[in-house]
Structure 1
C-alpha cells in the first residue's frame, strides 16, 4: 500500500539576520572572549550564507541569557512557527485540521511539556482525540526521520491523515561564555524555521508523489560527533571537525544500502534531496554521490537564504525542488546525532499535484 505526499510547507520567524551584520556583532561580542576568533571569522564569508531568520531580534544576543529565558523564547517562537507551517500544509493539502488523525512533531532545540502540538491544538483546530507523537533528539536528521515515522503510522492505519511538523529555534543556543570553536561555527551557520508535510494512503486526484521504503543507519562509537551538551546556561552545540571527512569515507556505502532497501539500482536516483549542513558537507555529498559539482543547487539556495535550521532544512530543500518542477526518483537524506543517517525515497511523476 503506497503512502502519498499531499503537501509541503515552510515557515520562518519574523526577524531576519543578515550575515554581514551577524559577523560584525560576533566580532564585537566574541573576539574579546575567544582568542582564536580571527582564525575562524573568515567562515562568515565562505559559509555560503547571506541571511537567516530568528525567533528573537538581533539585539537579544547582546545580553547573557539563562536556561529559563532561552526556553521561554523557544516556547513562544516555536509555537508560532508550528501554527504557521501546519496551517500552510493543511491548506495546501485541502485538509481541515479537524480531519487530522495524527500529528508528528519534531524538535530538538528546546523543552516543551506539554509538547508543541498541544500548545497549538486549539489555534490550529485539531480534534481532542488526535494522536500526538512528539520526537526529540534527532537533530539535523529529524526532518527525514520524522517523515519516516509518519509514513509508518500512515501505513498502520490506512486512510488516516498524518501531519508532520518540524520546528527548530537553533539561534537560541548562541552564547558568549566558555566558548569553543563549535560555538563559533554554530554562530556562522544556525537559523530558525519550520516545515510541514501531509501524508496519507488516500490517493490524490492527480499524479501523486509516493514515499518508498526508507532506511536509517547509526554508526557505532560515534556519539561525540554531533549533538547537544546540556550546560548551565542552555544547550551547547557539538560539531566535530571530522564531519565532512566522515561523510566522504562512510556515506556512500550506507546510501547504497538505502537504495537496495528501496529496490533502486545504483543509478536509480534522479535527484538526491540533501540536508545542507554547510558548504563543506554539501561538497562532500556531491563527491561521494558522484554528482556534478554544483548540482545540489536547491541545497545551496536554502543554505544561502536560511542557514542551517537543523531538522526542517531538508524539507525546505524538498519544497524548493518540487516548486522548481523537478520530477523522477528522488531520495531525501540527512545526517544527525547518533551519528546517524536517514533516507526516504520519493517518486515524483511529472506534474505531480502536490501543494508545495
Structure 2
C-alpha cells in the first residue's frame, strides 16, 4: 500500500510596495494615453479586472524609468531571493521543520533568469544542507504553482519520509513596458503583480491535506495563446487569443480527461480551487464548471487584494481555502503557457 503524500503547510509573501489599482491606472494614463490612440478604450480593464490593490517589488515611479534587460533582471534576482526566503521560512515554520531538514526543493519561476537558480542563491540565508536536491522549473507561467505542487508531491511519494519544499516566486512587474504600445501590454499592466508562495509536503502521517492525484492537459496548436517574447528592453507578454472564452469552451473537457486517469470525474469534485487570472476568467470558469456565479469567492478575494501574480496565485487561493476548512475533494487548477491546464486533487487529511 502506497504512503499518502500530505501537505504540511502553505505560506505566502508579497513585496513591500502596495499599490492601489486607481494609482496604477493613473500612472498608465499619464505615460500611455498621449502615445497610444487606443489607450482610453483599453484602459477600462483597470476597472473591470476585479483588482483593488497589488504588491510590487519597486515603487510605481521606478517602472516609468528607461531601462534594459540587465537592470530588470538584477531587480528580479534581488526581489525573488527576498520573497523566496520570506515565503519558505513561513512555510517551514508552519510545518515545524528546519531548513536544514529539507531534502528536495522545487523552485518555480518564469519572470526572470537566475543561474545558479534562486534556491541556490539563498541557500546560506536559509540554512539548507549541502546534500539538498534542487529542482528549478521555468516556463510554466500561471500554471507553475499547481504544476510545481504536482512535481513536489510525486518526488515526496517516491521517497517516503523525505521533506519536499515547493516555492513559486514571480516578479511579473519587471516586465511592465512603456515601449510596447499594444493591447496585450496594457492588459498585462492592469493585471499582473509580484508575490511568492511556499508549500511543504511529505509522504507520511499528519498534515493539513492529502494529495490524491495530479495531472496536466496540453491543447494542441496553442503555444501562441500565452508566453514571453524576449526583447532588448526585457520580457514582453504574449496574449494572442482571448483566454476567458477559451477557458469557458475547453477547461471542463480537459479536467475531465485528467481526472479520468484516476477513475474520477468532475461530479466527484466538491470544490474547485482555481487560479484567478482576472475577473472575466473567474466568471468563465464558473460557467464552464457549471458553478453558481459567485461560487469562487476566494479566487475573487485573492484577485482583489493581490492581482494576478502568475504561478503563486493559485496557492494564495489554496491558503485561504485551508484556513476556512477543507471539505470533501478539492481540485486545485490553473492554466498557463503551452497552453496547458494543470490540476491537483486534495482531501482533508485523516
Please state which band the TM-score falls in when normalised by the shorter chain.
over 0.9
For 2:19 and 2:176, locate their aligned partners in 1 and report how far apart those are by CA, in whole Å: 13
For 1:47 and 1:253, locate their aligned partners in 2 and report how far apart those are by CA, in whole Å: 26
| Match 2:172 to one of 170, 173, 186 | 170
Q: How many angstroms does 1:245 deviate by?
A: 1.3
Is 1:215 matched up with 2:237?
A: no
Q: Secondary structure at the match of 1:212?
A: strand
Equivalent positions of 1:107-146 (< 5 A) are 107-146=109-148
Q: How many angstroms does 1:33 deviate by?
A: 2.2
Q: Secondary structure at the match of 1:230?
A: strand
Tell me if the contact between 1:8 and 1:197 (Cα under 8 Å) persists in the aligned partners.
yes
The alignment of Structure 1 onto Structure 2 pairs a total of residues equal to 348
Is 1:36 matched up with 2:23?
A: no
Give 2:149's aligned residue.
147
Is 1:273 matched up with 2:273?
A: yes
For 2:231 and 2:85, locate their aligned partners in 1 and report how far apart those are by CA, in whole Å: 29
For 2:348 and 2:100, locate their aligned partners in 1 and report how far apart those are by CA, in whole Å: 28
Tell me if the contact between 1:33 and 1:176 (Cα under 8 Å) persists in the aligned partners.
no
For 1:65 and 1:103, locate their aligned partners in 2 and report how far apart those are by CA, in whole Å: 32
Is 1:338 matched up with 2:338?
A: yes
Give 1:317's aligned residue.
317
For 1:203 and 1:18, locate their aligned partners in 2 and report how far apart those are by CA, in whole Å: 43
Tell me if the contact between 1:213 and 1:261 (Cα under 8 Å) persists in the aligned partners.
no
Deviates more, 1:212-221 or 1:256-265: 256-265
Give 1:254's aligned residue.
254
Q: Secondary structure at the match of 1:84?
A: helix
Q: How many angstroms does 1:248 deviate by?
A: 1.5
For 1:301 and 1:93, locate their aligned partners in 2 and report how far apart those are by CA, in whole Å: 25
Q: Secondary structure at the match of 2:335?
A: strand
For 1:315 and 1:262, locate their aligned partners in 2 and report how far apart those are by CA, in whole Å: 23
For 1:131 and 1:218, locate their aligned partners in 2 and report how far apart those are by CA, in whole Å: 28
Give 1:191's aligned residue.
193
Q: How many angstroms does 1:266 deviate by?
A: 3.4
TM-score (norm 1): 0.96
Q: How many angstroms does 1:282 deviate by?
A: 0.5
Deviates more, 1:159-168 or 1:171-180: 171-180
Tell me if the contact between 1:212 and 1:262 (Cα under 8 Å) persists in the aligned partners.
no
Q: Secondary structure at the match of 1:159?
A: coil
TM-score (norm 2): 0.97
Give 1:302's aligned residue.
302
Is 1:92 matched up with 2:98?
A: no
Give 2:283's aligned residue.
283
Q: How many angstroms does 1:239 deviate by?
A: 1.7
Task: Please give the per-residue CA displacement for 1:252-306, whole angstroms capped at 9, x wherever unaligned.
Answer: 1111122222333432111100000011111110001010101000000000000
Tell me if the contact between 1:162 and 1:199 (Cα under 8 Å) persists in the aligned partners.
yes
| Match 2:160 to one of 143, 158, 161 | 158
For 1:191 and 1:108, locate their aligned partners in 2 and report how far apart those are by CA, in whole Å: 13
Tell me if the contact between 2:217 and 2:258 (Cα under 8 Å) persists in the aligned partners.
no
Tell me if the contact between 2:244 and 2:281 (Cα under 8 Å) persists in the aligned partners.
yes
Task: Please give the per-residue CA displacement for 1:102-135, whole angstroms capped at 9, x wherever unaligned.
Answer: 0000000000011100111011110011000000
Q: How many angstroms does 1:208 deviate by?
A: 4.5
| Match 1:102 to one of 104, 116, 121 | 104
For 2:347 and 2:72, locate their aligned partners in 1 and report how far apart those are by CA, in whole Å: 40
Tell me if the contact between 1:48 and 1:304 (Cα under 8 Å) persists in the aligned partners.
yes
Equivalent positions of 1:17-32 (< 5 A) are 17-32=19-34
Tell me how large the CA RMSD over aligned residues is.
1.1
The runs of 5 or more residues in structure 2 that have no matched partner are: none
Q: Secondary structure at the match of 1:108?
A: coil
Is 1:73 matched up with 2:75?
A: yes
Tell me if the contact between 2:9 and 2:208 (Cα under 8 Å) persists in the aligned partners.
no
For 2:313 and 2:208, locate their aligned partners in 1 and report how far apart those are by CA, in whole Å: 23
Task: Please give the per-residue CA displacement for 1:45-74, whole angstroms capped at 9, x wherever unaligned.
Answer: 111100000111111012111000000000
